[in-house]
Structure 1
Amino acid sequence: MFSKACEYAIKATIYIAQQSHQERRVNVKEVSKAVDAPEAFTAKILQQLCRENILESNRGKQGGFIFQIEKQKQIKIYDVVQLIDGDDIFTNCGLGLQKCSSENPCPVHDDFKEVRNGLIAMVQKYSFYDLAQKTESGLAWLK
């Protein structure tokens, strides 16, 4: 459903949120290993998340990535999906047709509209703080 880049971004952001709860900064290598993603690809994604002020990064011996707790509570999955994949998944036709609409529906328009609305509700519901809490408590996993 989401692109590979978006999946990696979501998992990496959750992992960094978890580590930030313990006041740990993590490097690219650790993040890529934790989320089972290629290191160079992970670095690019993390750079983008830093440019958009979701994550923070410091260089050097005490450096690494961190996700401030207050930001974790504000940033939703939706924000990362928008950043990485845009809003196509929330607006495009389920069959990929260019002119699908309520006035000119594709064969699955009404069903896909329900799926799309459910997806929007889910990604707007959960903050990264919520997701980090779930994975830390063992109620959910990243691998």
Structure 2
Amino acid sequence: MGFFSKTCEYAIRAVLYIASQSQEGKRVGIKEIAENINSPEYFLGKILQRLSREGIILSVKGPNGGFYLDANGLNRPIADIVITLEGDEIFTGCGMGLSYCSESNPCPLHNEFKKIRNQITYMLHKSTIGAFNKELLDGTLTLNK
């Protein structure tokens, strides 16, 4: 079980795969991305459309088309992907999903969850999309078995 929704998991995997392929100037299609990140193609298509509309990834139509990232995209934080698909509640919300939870009215998990949430928030805002390319290209990190 992951921390993110399936939609967000597929989106992060897809964007990191696209980033790794963009280093060589390559554009990749949905089918290739889906195969390399172990994702359903149709579902992934909807996710990629949304990311493209929001400018997280770029796309070109036609026989030499596909998805890619430019230098600006590679320098964006991974948090941008999460915010595009799930909003920013993951960075501020209650670990138990309680609407009333706050500093003055904490839920049972509030203080411990806040520490973890702040660490995740920091990591997602500080880690750029392109930060993992070298390790993905040399096989140190993987997106699929």
**TM-score computed with the length of structure 1 as normaliser:** 0.94
Counterpart in the other structure of 1:55: 57
Write the deviation string for residues 76-103 of structure 1: whole angstroms up to 9, x where unpaired: 1100000011112111111122211111
CA distance in 2, matches of 1:78, 1:133: 20
* Structure with greater proportional helix content: 1
CA distance in 1, matches of 2:63, 2:96: 49
Structure 1 counterpart of 2:15, one-letter code: T
SS of the equivalent of 1:61 reads coil
CA shift for structure 1 position 69: 2.5
Q: Show structure 2 runs of 5+ residues with no match.
A: none
Counterpart in the other structure of 1:119: 120
SS of the equivalent of 1:118 reads helix
SS of the equivalent of 2:141 reads coil
CA shift for structure 1 position 138: 2.8
Counterpart in the other structure of 1:76: 77
Q: Show structure 1 runs of 5+ residues with no match.
A: none
SS of the equivalent of 2:25 reads coil
Structure 1 counterpart of 2:22, one-letter code: S
Off by >6 Å, runs of 4+ in structure 1: none
Counterpart in the other structure of 2:101: 100
Give the % identical residues.
43
CA distance in 1, matches of 2:132, 2:142: 10
Number of residue pairs aligned between Structure 1 and Structure 2: 142
Q: Cα RMSD between the aligned structures? A: 1.1
- Contact between 1:2 and 1:85, CA under 8 Å: does it hold in 2? no
SS of the equivalent of 1:97 reads coil
- Contact between 1:77 and 1:124, CA under 8 Å: does it hold in 2? yes
